Chain A
Amino acid sequence: QVQLQESGPGLVKPSQTLSLTCTVSGGSITSGDYYWNWIRQSPGKGLEWIGYIYHTGTTSSKPSLKSRVTMSVDTSKNQLSLKLRFVTAADTAVYFCARARRGSGFYPYWGQGTLVTVSS
């Protein structure tokens, strides 16, 4: 059974970069069968898809976030990473990583989520 675990700082200052890692266990991130996604949840905006990355490094992001988002994979560590630049209070949310089957867009597997607060 695949498991995903997010990690990273819980507090980020405005205008700085939010950096999170998702460690995958019970399955290889290099499997061509899956996309690896980042999703966030805030009280104001609900659940919001941020983007996905394929093991080859191919990415797709929500257009409104694309200019600030960088996603990457580290196949040696079986991890994916998210960087969100120039954060504001509106980026305060619980951030999840989730796996989607290739060719689909739904998420059978999620990490438990990590809260990131943007505040000075």
Chain B
Amino acid sequence: DIQMTQSPSTLSASVGDRVTLTCRASQSIGKWLAWYQQKPGKAPKFLIYDASTLENGVPSRFSGSGSGTEFTLTITSLQPDDFATYYCQQYDSDSWTFGQGTKVEVK
């Protein structure tokens, strides 16, 4: 399986901050990466696919970039609703795998 490693595990930030989350793949996955947001007790919410394409309805303060093995999710001007855990997921290989998550918490 392709291993996905996210950093940091926890990020403390304040409303209005710009935050950047990183996801690294154990081998090249091209652009085949998605990002999700999850809040406690809820299913993940789909944010971004193909590394940088925003799903319909997702606020434009979210953006994704990267290719190959290194990817980032950036949230410009963090909002109260954005405090959550974020997961990356690769879909390059036929056995799709997720990162372990980055929790964005209130500083």
Contacts and interface: CB of A to CB of B under 8 A. Distances in A.
Contacts of A49: 95-98
B55 interface: yes
A106 B34 contact: yes
Question: What is the interface residue range for chain B against chain A?
Answer: 20 to 34
Contacts of A68: none
Interface string A74-114: 00000000000000000000001010000011111111110
Contact of A105 (B42, B46, B96): B96
Contacts of A63: 1, 95
Contacts of B94: 60
A105 B32 contact: yes
A46 interface: yes
Interface of B: 1, 32, 34, 36, 42-44, 46, 49, 55, 87, 89-92, 94-101
Interface string A52-85: 0000000010110000000000000000000000
B55 A107 contact: no
Contacts of B44: 47, 107, 110
B49 A48 contact: no
Contacts of A108: 46, 55
A47 B98 contact: yes
A46 to B, nearest CB: 5
26 contacts: A46-B87, A46-B98, A46-B99, A46-B101, A47-B44, A47-B101, A49-B97, A49-B98, A60-B94, A62-B1, A62-B95, A63-B1, A63-B95, A104-B49, A105-B96, A106-B34, A106-B46, A106-B49, A106-B89, A106-B91, A107-B34, A107-B46, A107-B89, A108-B55, A112-B43, A113-B43
